[in-house]
């Protein structure tokens, strides 16, 4: 890191300050909505060659912009900062796996956790599963929280998806912006709840791969208008 960059970070450049505040707002929205209870879950945003991430051990209501931790791309935490979230490794691995994404939201949302503990991914029971970028929302294997092994599993799970479940843990969603990542995390929890409730009636029918391919193609322009549309 150059002296100029270090000085800018210490004084809080305007772009960095806005991003720090946005990380806090996203984390508080995640918590306040019940998407991740208590101090569980974590949020980060890509910044420079690394990321800005929520610190460990602080209630979201108490976090201030100066508490958000900059972790460089090599995993080091320069300067005198708070300790980053214990899950910082899988946040970095998510950015490495998805260079097109700039935000990560990790939750312990109720129904996503239920499925993750039952060893179940979210299959194509509903076409909205395609919102995560594929025909399912995969479940990656269990590994101890905060470990390099879990980070590797997450990277594999997100290689071709924007969300995945982590066995006996929770869910992770990525987006081009913090708003996108949080919205996807909410959508994953809605789908998880629907699937859990369906399972009480028995194994539901699944949409065929061909139909999911059609849906995924349509999702490329989902919610967008043509420039010449009235």
The C-alpha angle with vertex 34 and arms to 22 and 42, in degrees rounded to 5, equals 45
Q: In whole angstroms, what is the distance from residue 173 CA to residue 187 CA?
A: 10
Q: In whole angstroms, what is the distance from residue 146 CA to residue 149 CA?
A: 9
Q: Catalytic: which of 16, 25, 48, 87? A: 87
User: Is 87 an active-site residue?
Assistant: yes
Closest by CA position to 137, among listed 155, 153, 147, 124: 124
Six token digits for residue 49: 């060659």
Q: Give the pairing of strands 139-140 and 42-47.
A: unpaired
CA distances from 177 to 28, 100, 198, 201, 213 (A): 16, 10, 32, 37, 25
Determine the 3-state secondary structure of 4 from DSSP: helix
Q: In whole angstroms, what is the distance from residue 91 CA to residue 80 CA?
A: 21
Closest by CA position to 111, among listed 185, 209, 206, 27: 185
Hey, which residues are catalytic here?
87
């Amino acid at each position: 890191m150059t002296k100029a960059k270090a000085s800018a970070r210490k004084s809080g450049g305007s772009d960095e300050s806005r991003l720090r505040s946005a990380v806090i707002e996203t984390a508080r929205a995640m918590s306040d909505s019940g998407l991740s209870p208590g101090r569980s879950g974590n949020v980060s945003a890509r910044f420079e060659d690394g990321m800005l991430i929520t610190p460990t051990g602080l209630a979201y209501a108490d976090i201030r912009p100066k508490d958000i931790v900059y972790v460089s791309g090599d995993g080091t935490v320069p300067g005198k900062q708070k300790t980053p979230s214990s899950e910082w490794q899988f946040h970095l691995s998510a950015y490495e796996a998805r260079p097109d994404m700039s935000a990560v939201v990790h939750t312990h949302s109720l129904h996503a956790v239920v499925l993750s503990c039952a060893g179940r991914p979210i299959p194509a029971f509903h076409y909205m599963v395609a919102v995560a970028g594929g025909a399912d929302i995969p479940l990656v294997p269990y590994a101890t929280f905060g470990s390099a092994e879990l980070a590797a599993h997450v990277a594999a799970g997100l290689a071709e998806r924007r969300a995945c479940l982590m066995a006996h843990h929770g869910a992770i969603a990525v987006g081009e912006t913090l708003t996108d990542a949080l919205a996807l995390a909410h959508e994953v929890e809605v789908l998880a709840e629907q699937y859990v409730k369906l399972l009480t009636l028995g194994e539901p029918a699944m949409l065929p791969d061909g139909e999911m391919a059609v849906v995924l193609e349509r999702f490329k322009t989902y919610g967008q208008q043509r420039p010449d549309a009235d």
